[in-house]
């Protein structure tokens, strides 16, 4: 087995996560505008509408000539309507736009151990990349979280033109990191996107799952604490 030269990390729910969850954040912004929403209902609606919206307009609308803000605005409106928000179009548009702006500037927190892990990866002189199904705001979000400087490259789906688990995004990551598949390892929280996806191009992968009871029995490489990735380096 060749020594690891490149470590790529998923971002959402691996390095950072939404504070309190999507439903909590949407409900808080709506409350400022005098609208009461049930966070659980919002979360369920979001998951449903995300799948539908992403199927119609993949890669945050980049294939359809949309800006990422336009894509998110459309998804948020659908989510709010599904959640029971009964507003005129203008008012709905106002709340939706405020939610979009909110996630561009706040609403995120660091996963425990993420900064410590990033610091040590750099101390070990490893190349570190972010490979995420994120839009074109990823770099600015990482900068606001004060962790952008730990990454040698940032590769969101928007830039790659494809999304995990498509093998192409991992091939682009190898090119960006100047490594072969045998010299790389990827860490993330999604079974399909972050564990099985990289293996299609020969990259070793680690499933990050804080709740050990949720780890599938057929997964042979997993961690519950992000710092445990060093057991595999």
Q: What proportion of the chain, given as a percentage, has pLDDT over 90?
A: 85
Contact 157, 130 (CB under 8 A): no
Per-domain residue ranges for the chain? 6-17+110-232, 20-105
pLDDT, mean of residues 171-185: 98
Average pLDDT, the chain: 94
* pLDDT value of residue 35: 85
Q: Encode 165-201: b = buried (16+ Cβ within 10 Å), e = exposed.
A: bbbebbbbbbebbebebebbbbbbbbbebbbebbbeb
79-125 pLDDT, tens digit each = 998 988 777 777 788 888 889 888 888 899 999 999 999 999 999 99
* pLDDT value of residue 101: 87
The structure's pTM equals 0.93
Contact 186, 12 (CB under 8 A): no
39-75 pLDDT, tens digit each = 999 999 999 999 999 999 999 999 999 999 999 999 9
Domain 20-105 top-level CATH class = mainly alpha
- Choosing among 3.40.50.1000, 3.30.1540.10, 3.10.20.30, 3.40.50.1220, the CATH entry for 6-17+110-232 is 3.40.50.1000
Taking the alpha carbons of 35, 40, 42, 45 in that order, is the dihedral positive or negative?
Answer: negative
Beta-carbon neighbour count of residue 108 at 10 Å?
18
DSSP state of 191: I
* pLDDT value of residue 175: 98
Nearest to 224 by CA among 233, 211, 213: 211
What is the pLDDT confidence band of residue 208, given thresholds at 50, 70 and 90? very high
* pLDDT value of residue 119: 98
């Amino acid at each position: 087995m060749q020594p690891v030269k490149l470590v790529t990390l998923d971002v959402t729910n691996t390095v950072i996560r939404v504070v309190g969850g999507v439903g909590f954040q949407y409900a808080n912004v709506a409350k400022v505008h005098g609208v009461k929403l049930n966070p659980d209902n919002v979360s369920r609606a979001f998951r449903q509408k995300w799948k539908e919206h992403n199927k119609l307009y993949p890669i945050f609308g980049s294939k359809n000539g949309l800006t990422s803000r336009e894509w998110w605005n459309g998804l948020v409106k659908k989510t709010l309507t599904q959640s029971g928000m009964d507003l005129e179009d203008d008012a709905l548009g106002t709340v939706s736009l405020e939610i979009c702006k909110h996630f561009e500037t706040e609403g995120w927190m660091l996963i425990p151990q993420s900064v410590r892990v990033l610091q040590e990866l750099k101390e070990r002189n490893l190349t570190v990349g972010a490979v995420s199904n994120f839009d074109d705001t990823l770099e600015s979000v990482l900068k606001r979280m004060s962790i952008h400087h730990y990454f040698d490259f940032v590769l969101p789906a928007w830039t790659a033109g494809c999304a995990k688990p498509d093998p192409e995004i991992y091939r682009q990551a190898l090119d960006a990191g100047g490594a072969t598949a045998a010299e790389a390892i990827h860490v993330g929280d999604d079974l399909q996107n972050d564990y099985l996806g990289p293996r299609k191009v020969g990259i070793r992968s680690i499933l990050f799952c804080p709740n050990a009871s949720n780890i599938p029995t057929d997964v042979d490489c997993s961690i519950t604490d992000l710092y445990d990735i060093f057991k595999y380096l």
